[in-house]
């Protein structure tokens, strides 16, 4: 079974870059660009992880993490923030919102691979 990842990213070039890399790594990828579509996708699809852009245009991507942690079925779903918000205080806020990990933009794909392996290691 392929590991299934939802990419929530509003910038088409960033979304395409992440999707291409994930597919090359053997993941099945789903994409959305806004919070409404993200909520629908995490409820509808069987997912192993979420890559979440923190700033989705005018929307706060962290709202998805906060919402997901209140849903019994989604509490353990790994949510990895992928964001240009790299200051330590911002990272702390990202983790407090319910994200499991943080990878800054521009994405270091070695670090993203290590992060995904850490959170999905047991899933083949």
The predicted structure's pLDDT at residue 124? 47
Q: Which of 25, 15, 8, 16 is nearest to 113 (CA)?
A: 25
Residue 51, domain member (yes or no): yes
Terminal CA-CA length for the chain: 6
Number of domains in the chain: 1
Three-class secondary structure of residue 28 per DSSP:
strand
- Which residue range forms the structural domain that includes residue 37? 30-120
pLDDT per residue rounded down to tens, the chain (124 residues): 799 999 999 999 999 999 999 999 999 999 999 999 999 999 999 999 999 999 888 889 999 999 999 999 999 999 999 988 767 678 889 999 999 999 999 999 999 999 999 999 855 4
The predicted structure's pLDDT at residue 89? 76
pTM: 0.93
Q: Which of 19, 11, 13, 76 is nearest to 42 (CA)?
A: 76
Q: How far apart are CA 79 and CA 105, in angstroms?
A: 16
User: Domain holding 72: CATH number?
Assistant: 3.40.50.2300
Q: Structure tokens of 120?
A: 């999905």
Q: Structure tokens of 121?
A: 């290691």
Residue 1, domain member (yes or no): no
Residue 12, domain member (yes or no): no
The predicted structure's pLDDT at residue 85? 72
Residue 71, domain member (yes or no): yes
The predicted structure's pLDDT at residue 123? 56
């Amino acid at each position: 079974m392929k590991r299934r990842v939802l990419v929530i990213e509003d910038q088409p070039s960033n979304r395409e870059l992440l999707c291409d890399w994930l597919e090359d790594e053997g993941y099945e990828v789903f994409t959305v660009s806004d919070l409404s579509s993200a909520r629908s996708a995490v409820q509808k699809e069987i997912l192993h992880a979420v890559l979440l852009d923190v700033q989705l245009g005018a929307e706060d991507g962290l709202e998805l993490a906060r919402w997901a942690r209140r849903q019994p079925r989604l509490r353990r779903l790994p949510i990895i923030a992928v964001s240009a918000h790299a200051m330590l205080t911002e990272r702390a806020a990202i983790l407090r919102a319910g994200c499991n990990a943080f990878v800054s933009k521009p994405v270091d794909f070695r670090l993203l691979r290590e992060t995904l392996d850490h959170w999905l290691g047991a899933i083949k």
